[in-house]
Amino acid sequence: AYTHLQRAQPIRLAHYFLAYLEMYNRDEERFKDNLKRIDQLPLGSGALAGVDFPLDREFVAKELGFSEIMRNSLDATASRDAVIEFLSNASICMANLSRQSEDLIIWNSAEFSFVELPDKLTTGSSIMPQKKNPDVLELIRGKVGRVYGDLVALLTIVKGLPMAYNRDLQEDKEPVFDAVKTLKGSIIGMTKIIEGLKPRKDIMEKAAGGFALATDLANYLVRKGLPFRQAHHVVGQIVGYLTQQGRELESITLEELKKFSHLFEEDALNILNPYYVADARKTFGGTAKERVLEQINYWKEKLGA
């Protein structure tokens, strides 16, 4: 895994996808909660004060499938906050889709080569024959701006409206319809990408090692009683030593480690195995195999998969 787009700590690929599952689940929960405020019938509120005909609004709501009626006629004709809330939720969801798109675009690049995208969702270059462009992911990343714009458009429409109805509210439809269409298309596109994605295990395993294990080497010294600041300094010296020789962390020997600290013992070499390091993260929600399997089983049960 990366921080600041630099190798940070080894994790399991499943742990990465489970992180986005959590994010998309929160998106779903926001939409479900928003539905409570959308699922209210405004019909029967008249121009703003109600109507002077014997209209049974509760009967109409039941016939039309609404769970309840809006209680105040003035509010019913003037308010669009439930729709703004939907556009806000859509914007958050699109942001999550955009972030994952960016991840996969980077992973698909020749510099990373962590994954191979499905051919049917990529295109070649009209000039450069070696290229395989991640068009669908780029479109998802680009379309997030449309939904942001829809949200800002409606916020701008309502921000100066006096109570109650004004013709400005005629402009609330287009942003909503556009956001729904854009979000739906983006979700479908990302789903197809994930279904056809081919991880390159060998390249990912290589990236999970090396200096991504440096933090765990420092933690080893801390467990041996060395203050973290000193442990950080020692491992920094080790990294510099190996970098000057063009070597990776896995190549260091126990004898070399002991030159930097007498606290290093044979078990320190376990730290040079990214699977060992990942499995040490046993806290709830961590990337240890047993924890990842717990998360997978939780979501299988929750989603009925």
Q: Which residues are catalytic?
A: 4, 125
Q: H/E element holding 302? A: helix 289-303
Q: CA-to-CA distance for 111 and 137, rounded, in angstroms? A: 18
CA 178 from chain center: how many Å? 22
Radius of gyration of the chain (CA): 27
Q: CA-to-CA distance for 100 and 4, rounded, in angstroms? A: 15
SS3 253: coil
CA distances from 112 to 67, 83, 204, 207, 242 (A): 51, 41, 9, 9, 22
The tokens of 296 are what?
């997978």
